[in-house]
Amino acid sequence: MEQKDNQIAIVTGVSRLQGIGKAICTILAQNGIDIFFTYWLEYDEAMPWGVQENEPDLIQKEIQSYGVRCEKLTLNLKEEGAIDLLFYQVNAKMGAPTILINNATYSTSININSITSQELEAHYLVNMKAVILLTSRFFKNFNENEQGGRIINLSSGQNLSVMNEEVAYAVTKGAIDTFTRTIAQEIACKRITINAVNPGLTDTGWLDDAQKEIFLKRCPMGRIGKPEDVAKLISFLVSDEGQWITGQILNSEGGFIRELYE
């Protein structure tokens, strides 16, 4: 897929070498797209999978090895002013972005009995508010051109089945599908497309051997999804070939069986 020059992509939530964000950055860089990514190590450090402090540096070096520009910024999307800071840095260091990938997410296991105001707000600030405000700023900042712009929101398949013990995550990520459909026509005046992509079950280092054995029974292709799988779909959507696709929710799940009957 041929890319045109002067493409600049913002990708949020790129902390880990095994993560989906890193895979997205890598494939876009291989297609000649300059990358500006954000990360917030404090979140991943608190998660079971963890993260090494130097992983964003290693990701940046790999991206630069493909001959493109790459800048990074540690950014807490829950903080007021984070979006202003991000776009100031991108415009100052690289120029006006043409691609926005809303990949950052916040997720903790909470059910309706244990949910708190603080945890609900944390999910909302990252999974909804940041995505909406980033999209708005991208639209206002975008300089219309022949190729147009691209926005990709990472969804989570909430329209396909329930997600037990994840009430705050499920409702905030589910809202992104509605947001994507709602504004697709509104932003088309600048030739900007917007789509949501559900990566499905993806092995980014959070699955142990017992979980893999269970989930493999639901994977008809005989393997669990890899970060590169969804990255390839996103690469297509931001290319010239993807310019007529907008307002869609795409599920990159490899035929994952959500209801397993034995």
- Tell me the pLDDT tens digit for each residue of 104-163: 999 888 889 999 999 999 999 999 999 999 999 999 999 888 789 999 999 987 777 777
Q: How many CB atoms lie within 10 A of CB 73?
A: 18
DSSP string, 179-239: HHHHHHHHHGGGTEEEEEEE--SB-SS---HHHHHHHHTT-TTSS-B-HHHHHHHHHHHTS
Confidence of residue 256 (pLDDT cuts 50, 70, 90): low
Q: State the average pLDDT for the chain.
A: 90
What is the distance in angstroms between the CA of the first residue and the CA of the last residue of the chain? 42
CA 147/CA 160 separation, integer angstroms: 32
Q: What is the pLDDT of residue 262?
A: 46
Residue 2 has pLDDT above 60, yes or no: no
Q: Which of 39, 43, 106, 169 is catalytic?
A: 169
Using the predicted structure, report yes or no on whether residue 1 has a pLDDT greater than 60.
no
**What band does 91 get if pLDDT is binned at 50, 70 and 90?**
very high
Question: Of 3.40.50.300, 3.40.50.2300, 3.40.50.720, 3.30.300.30, which CATH number belongs to 8-251?
Answer: 3.40.50.720
Token pair 């998660």 in the structure block, residue: 47
Mean pLDDT value of segment 68-92: 97
* Whole-number pLDDT of residue 145: 83
Catalytic site residue 169? yes
Sorted by where each begins, the domain ranges of the chain are 8-251
Predicted confidence (pLDDT) at residue 174 exceeds the cutoff of 70: yes
